[in-house]
Amino acid sequence: MLNIHINIDRFANRHALRCLALLCMIALISACAAPAPIPESGQQTVEERVRAPSQGDRESLQVFTIRNPAVVALGDQALAAERAGNLQQAEQLLERALRIESRDPAILQHMAEIQLSQNRLEQTIGFATRAYEQGPRVGELCERSLRTLALAHERSNEWTEAQAARDQLPACRVAPPERF
């Protein structure tokens, strides 16, 4: 009978070691699968990773459209509310602006940034995509839209889409035509 217990103990030890090795391999593989997102505060992220890098080169071509003065005023008020830390008021002001002009790319982009600050990733992607599609394909607004898309996709662990947005960024910087 003693012999049986020893064989069972050997089997149990081998089985336990195999299970432990398998668990270690699974943990190692899952840790390498996707990088963990960097924890960030919402508004600081928008300033540091979306707006500031897009403002860097003032010598590249910028495209500005004619905008409704009421929409511009509401956008300015929303920016002031955002800087004061009142994201809810900023969002309400931008919604009013979008009721006046639903296709204004600057307002759509600002709304995407507000949504990103609140970690509403699906809404962020929707607004930033509309801003990119309806806005100029060069300049600061183009860059902000693509940076917002990249960041929202990163936070959603959609790495391929995030890289695709980053790959389009160089096309936003175009040298202005020479003047004689």
pLDDT tens for 15-52 read: 666 766 666 566 556 555 544 444 445 566 788 888 88
For the chain, count helices (H), then strands (E): 9, 0
Q: Would you state the pLDDT for residue 16? A: 63
Q: Taking a C-beta distance cutoff of 8 angstroms, is the pair 110, 78 a contact? A: yes
Helices (H), 34-156: 42-45, 52-54, 69-83, 87-100, 105-117, 121-134, 140-155
Q: Would you state the pLDDT for residue 66? A: 82
Q: How many CB atoms lie within 10 A of CB 78?
A: 25
Q: 49-99, pLDDT tens digit by residue?
A: 888 876 755 566 667 778 999 999 999 999 999 999 999 999 999 999 999
How many whole angstroms separate alpha carbon 62 and alpha carbon 163?
Answer: 24
Token pair listed for 147 = 């940076």
Identify which has the larger pLDDT, 27 or 165. Answer: 165
Please state whether the predicted TM-score (pTM) of the whole model is above 0.85.
no
Cα dist. 134→68, 154, 155, 180 in Å? 16, 23, 24, 32
Q: Would you state the pLDDT for residue 179? A: 75
